Amino acid sequence: MAVSQVRPRRWPECTGALAFTLPNRQSQRMTDIILYDYWRSSASYRVRIALNLKGVAYRAVNTSLLDGDHKAADYVARNPQGFVPMLSIDGHDLCQSLAIIDYLDAKYAEPPMVSRDPFERATTLAQAMVVAADIHPVNNLRILKYLKDELGQEQDVIDAWYRHWIGEGFAALEAMAPEAGLFGGDKPNLADICLVPQMANARRFDTPLHAFPRLVRIDAACNEMEAFQKAAPEAVKPES
């Protein structure tokens, strides 16, 4: 699986400009797959993992949330929420990480991210949504910035907020986790893809994890896999 970059990253094939540039739609080929992502975005991290697991080659465009690249008029014209990630594929601009992964799962069947069995599919979606719909939305960058800039909260209060919602969500997810293996059994599935970036976030904010041994075990097992390693923030962080 090959990845080319618009901004320099720690990959052998990296080339490109340092300024944010949205590729011209007229010059973009239908066969091009372009991921607009930010290295520290956990939603982008999920999509990078899925692309790697499925062996899909893509070109990455670093879209800095700190520099405001996601607010550029031409980006918002294609992605009205102005979030990352956005995946440009088959002439479409897809947003929202789980919707992107669902598209990839429909287009590239192997390995599957959810089961075809209705109950198993629903179970995996419920596990994934603990992270994607419950923990992440109240802890993403725009929420943290609002707490600080608009509500005047101190950083230690914001950090406590972050850890609180991770702890609540992880407590539920720990109870849902299998005693052995991954959420996907012997192969990672959508729940595993959602867990790993959130575990990285938990560690960034010094969240105690001793109460979640199953999640810690699953995270460690996933991070032994090349697809997860190459998607990790430290592997794709642009060079300054």
The span from the CA of 147 to the CA of 149, in Å, is 6
Q: Which two tokens stand for residue 82?
A: 């102005």
User: Domain segments of the chain: what residues?
Assistant: 3-111, 118-227
Residue 165 in contact with residue 138, Cβ under 8 Å?
Answer: yes
| 34-37 and 58-62 strand pairing | parallel
**pLDDT at residue 11 above 50?**
no
pLDDT at 189 over 80: yes
What pTM value is reported for the model? 0.85
Residues 98-157: tens digit of each pLDDT: 999 999 999 999 999 999 999 999 999 999 999 999 999 998 888 998 999 999 999 999
- The fraction of the chain above a pLDDT of 90, given in percent, is 72
Q: Which helix (H) or strand (E) holds 235?
A: helix 233-236
The two structure tokens encoding residue 59: 């070109």
% of the chain at pLDDT higher than 70: 87
Q: Which among 74, 128, 82, 78 has a CA at the least distance from the CA of 101? A: 128
Instruction: Report pLDDT for 212.
Output: 98
What per-residue confidence (pLDDT) applies to 141?
86
Q: Examine the pLDDT at 26 and tell me if it is beyond 80.
A: no
Instruction: Name the CATH topology of 118-227.
Output: Glutathione S-transferase Yfyf (Class Pi); Chain A, domain 2 (1.20.1050)
pLDDT confidence band for 15 (50 / 70 / 90)? very low
Residue type, 226: E
**Mean pLDDT, residues 31-44:** 90
Half-sphere exposure of 172 (CA within 13 A, CB side): 13
Residue-level pLDDT at 31: 63
Residue 19: is its pLDDT beyond 90?
Answer: no
Q: Which CATH number fits domain 3-111: 3.40.640.10, 3.40.50.880, 3.40.190.10, 3.40.30.10?
A: 3.40.30.10
Query: Which one has a higher pLDDT value, 73 or 231?
Result: 231
- Helices (H) and strands (E) counted in the chain, each on its own, are 10, 5
Side-chain half-sphere exposure of 200, counting CA atoms within 13 A: 20
Closest CA to 49 of 188, 217, 185, 176: 188
* pLDDT value for 17: 29
A 10 A CB-CB count for 200 gives: 17
Q: Is the pLDDT of residue 211 over 50?
A: yes
**Using one digit for the tens of pLDDT, what is the confidence trace for 68-92?**
778 788 888 898 888 899 999 999 9
- The pLDDT-based confidence of 240 (bands split at 50, 70, 90) is low
Point out which residues pair with 62 in neighbouring strands. Answer: 37
**Which of these, 64, 56, 9, lies nearest to 38 by C-alpha position?**
64
In the block, tokens 């007229």 appear at 26
Closest CA to 231 of 33, 52, 68, 75: 52
